[in-house]
Structure 1
Amino acid sequence: MVVRLSRHRLLALFCGVLAALTLATPATAAPAHPGVDRAGAAAGWLARQLVDGERFEVVFDGVAYPDQGLTLDAVFAFAAAGVADDFGAQALDWVTRPDIRDGYVGDGGTEAYAGATAKLALAVQVRGGDPTDVGGVDLIARLRGLESPSGRFTDRSAYGNYSNAFSQSFAILALDRTAHGVPATAAIWLAGTRCPDGGYPLLPAQPVCTSDVDATALAVQALQAAGRPADAAAGLRWLVSVQGANGSFADSSGVPNANSTGLAAQALRAGHRPLAWLRARAYLVGLQVGCGAAPADRGAVDFDGGTFDPATATRATGQAVLGLTGDGYATLSAAAAGSGAPVLTCP
């Protein structure tokens, strides 16, 4: 129904970047145990949170709606950690169901969403699938059709254009894996949004160009993939310059958090900034729920270091796994991933 789609699109605007993370307390911070794979434990916890082992949902006005974007974050996390491959397969099968797929990427006619199309195409590629035939839909052709003459990928929608730096970056990362590669105009457009301080904004053409950690983390990975190392290097220098003394990164409200730190850490390692990555990784490790917590919570990456909330920890954990491993989107693959959802080993 059109009403449901409108509500879903409005809801999606409020479910992007989660905030308010601080250092984990000693009671919840995960102690070191020999042989424990922190990323694997985090991904294992994330897998066990999937509804029916296949999806995430978001509740709005008491009604549960599918959260395809968060489900795809889990697919990426499983591939990065090299675990829960069975859950990754089930999750992608769910997202690519025609009704679920079209509610996310649009019907391809009056409704077509650039960021969602690109993110789904990339997830299919990460899992070794063919993005030109996703239930009969050619996501790559649809994505290329959403590129404007300026090089920007834009939504085609009765509800407006909500494309942003994430849309552009995911589009470049997905197209980089295709035979025709990335249109030069797309990379030039993204590079042209850079702020004077070297970072990248979430939204282009604002009165004041304000660099954003999350947007910059995605942009530098896309620009590296597109063969623009100088533009990527500027963003990496900015990321290093705004890293907290404890290794953390803050969101647009200035609050250090696992989501922004996870994405920044991923970009730093992919961008060959190992010391900055290790500092960010140490911060994420400090947020991982450990053996002092309830068994069902162990392995998750906490949202704010206070009272543990599984509802907010799912997104935090999904993006933190990318930082814990440092595997970049450009080369991410589930080819070597094993099945099963590992748990944190405790004495």
Structure 2
Amino acid sequence: MPTLRRTLGLLAIPALALATALPATATAATAAHADTASSRTVLPDAAAAGWLARQLVDGDHFESVFNGTAYPDQGLTIDAVLAFAASRSSDEAAAKATAWLAKPEILSGYLGDGTTEAYAGATAKLLLAVEVRGANPASFGGVDLPSRLRSLQTTEGRFSDRSQWGDYSNAFGQSLALIALHRTPGDAPTAAVDFLANSQCADGGFPLSFGQPTCAGDPDATALAVQALAATGRTAKANTGLDWLAAHQNADGGFAAAGATTSNANTTGLATQALLSGGRFGTGLKGWSRLVKFQQGCSADPAVRGAVAYDATGFNAASGTRATAQAVLGLAGTPLSTLSAAGARPDSPTLACPAPATR
């Protein structure tokens, strides 16, 4: 995978020559792409992760605002930890974020108390991040994450929430659980793998929610499901899912969320990661190029250079952190099953731009 990442980085090089040869009538979009790609001294994924690291509140977490009140956002913080590892950068920020996640009040607020409240998707996602960081998942913040996750598996193989508020588990959590448990000594339970594999729609896509009257493929859910099934040896099912993703790629190389038509960075990031890690380099590179075009270059405000916009309408701070975190996964192309923070550079790279010309 490091070879693939170097190859992806080199794809930006031709734009450097293009930038000096563009005619005056070149379109704004082409010029912006050349500007974005040509001025980097770091790879696109590292530039995006570096920007993301500088947005952390108090240097160790993210928050979400609801009705004017800021709340800790453990899920987005974990997305950032995964992005830092994928980009092989920002390791100091990742370490601080991991320490924040291990605080008892932060941990219980996300996972539940483990008795009356326990959330499968959250537990699976945190377990994966802890594994990626090389920490001890059996004693993270005093919680045995693999054991708790396994306790949430039902007899049919589904990982379900235990909560007075209901069961909101879905294909995201199921896929992340398989990937995370595959990385443990006990491996992912066969019944759980079967459950996800059997949820596949007739056309090859995977639904977000299980047990619906009509099976409808969801691009984000399918991107995670194919990674989970590939990791656990269900190659045929994974390949059919990849075929479905390729068939749902937009003409601009990006991917739209379920029910939408316009490409966005979040869905494109997950789909591109799945395609590249699954060996679908033609479609994967198209997705990668779309993500690069969403990235903010030297013509953008210095405060957002390196960030990734949610869509082609431009950068929006409200969606920029989550879009950037998920876009990095596609820009790096490393599968979640082998993702590791080992050897990542400690600093958070910046997008180096030439000094303004003086007269």
TM-score, with structure 1 as normaliser: 0.91
Q: Give 2:7's aligned residue.
A: none
Q: Give 1:275's aligned residue.
A: 282
* Mapped pair 1:338 → 2:350: no
After superposition, residues 187-226 of structure 1 pair within 5 angstroms as 187-226=193-232
Following superposition, the deviation at residue 309 of structure 1 comes to 1.6
Give, in whole Å, the separation in 1 of the partners of 2:37 and 2:194: 45
Q: Structure 2: where are the runs of 5+ without partners? A: 1-27, 355-359
Q: Give 1:151's aligned residue.
A: 157
Q: Give 1:321's aligned residue.
A: 328
Following superposition, the deviation at residue 346 of structure 1 comes to 1.1
One-letter identity of the residue aligned with 2:238: A
Following superposition, the deviation at residue 35 of structure 1 comes to 3.8
Give, in whole Å, the separation in 2 of the partners of 1:307 and 1:126: 32
Give, in whole Å, the separation in 2 of the partners of 1:152 and 1:126: 24
Q: Is the 8 A contact 2:37 2:292 kept in 1?
A: no
After superposition, residues 177-196 of structure 1 pair within 5 angstroms as 177-196=183-202
* Mapped pair 1:108 → 2:114: yes
Following superposition, the deviation at residue 237 of structure 1 comes to 0.6
One-letter identity of the residue aligned with 1:210: A
Following superposition, the deviation at residue 336 of structure 1 comes to 1.3
Q: Deviations over 1:47-101 (max 9, x none)?
A: 0010011000001111110110000000000000000000001111111111001
One-letter identity of the residue aligned with 1:178: T
Q: Is the 8 A contact 2:42 2:349 kept in 1?
A: no
SS of the residue 1:227 aligns to = coil
Q: Deviations over 1:124-154 (max 9, x none)?
A: 0000011110122101100000000000000
Q: Is the 8 A contact 2:226 2:242 kept in 1?
A: yes
Give, in whole Å, the separation in 1 of the partners of 2:133 and 2:239: 29
One-letter identity of the residue aligned with 1:328: P
Give, in whole Å, the separation in 2 of the partners of 1:234 and 1:105: 33
Following superposition, the deviation at residue 252 of structure 1 comes to 1.0
One-letter identity of the residue aligned with 2:280: R
Q: Give 2:306's aligned residue.
A: 299
One-letter identity of the residue aligned with 2:217: S
Q: Is the 8 A contact 1:270 1:328 kept in 2?
A: yes
Following superposition, the deviation at residue 305 of structure 1 comes to 2.8
Which of 246, 261, 275 matches 2:268?
A: 261
Give, in whole Å, the separation in 2 of the partners of 1:25 and 1:58: 32
Q: Deviations over 1:221-263 (max 9, x none)?
A: 0011111111111100100111112111110122310000000
SS of the residue 2:139 aligns to = coil
SS of the residue 1:203 aligns to = coil
CA RMSD between the two structures = 1.3
Q: Structure 1: where are the runs of 5+ without partners? A: 1-23
One-letter identity of the residue aligned with 2:269: G
Following superposition, the deviation at residue 307 of structure 1 comes to 4.3
Following superposition, the deviation at residue 27 of structure 1 comes to 7.4
Following superposition, the deviation at residue 33 of structure 1 comes to 3.0
SS of the residue 2:138 aligns to = coil
Give, in whole Å, the separation in 2 of the partners of 1:34 and 1:296: 16
One-letter identity of the residue aligned with 1:280: G
Q: Is the 8 A contact 2:206 2:225 kept in 1?
A: yes
One-letter identity of the residue aligned with 2:77: T
Which of 45, 49, 55 matches 2:61?
A: 55
One-letter identity of the residue aligned with 1:50: L
Give, in whole Å, the separation in 2 of the partners of 1:54 and 1:130: 19
Following superposition, the deviation at residue 325 of structure 1 comes to 0.8
Following superposition, the deviation at residue 34 of structure 1 comes to 6.0
* Mapped pair 1:96 → 2:70: no
Give, in whole Å, the separation in 2 of the partners of 1:330 and 1:242: 24
- The structure showing larger relative contact order (alpha-carbon pairs under 8 Å, at least 6 residues apart) is 1
Following superposition, the deviation at residue 207 of structure 1 comes to 1.2
Following superposition, the deviation at residue 26 of structure 1 comes to 5.7
One-letter identity of the residue aligned with 1:284: L
* Mapped pair 1:284 → 2:291: yes
Give, in whole Å, the separation in 2 of the partners of 1:204 and 1:155: 13
* Mapped pair 1:46 → 2:52: yes
SS of the residue 2:137 aligns to = coil
SS of the residue 1:132 aligns to = helix
Aligned residues: 324
Q: Is the 8 A contact 2:172 2:221 kept in 1?
A: yes
* Mapped pair 1:164 → 2:170: yes
Give, in whole Å, the separation in 1 of the partners of 2:210 and 2:263: 24
Give, in whole Å, the separation in 2 of the partners of 1:65 and 1:27: 39
Q: Is the 8 A contact 1:27 1:293 kept in 2?
A: no
Q: Is the 8 A contact 1:28 1:293 kept in 2?
A: no
TM-score, with structure 2 as normaliser: 0.88
Q: Is the radius of gyration larger for structure 1 or structure 2?
A: 2
Give, in whole Å, the separation in 1 of the partners of 2:58 and 2:39: 31
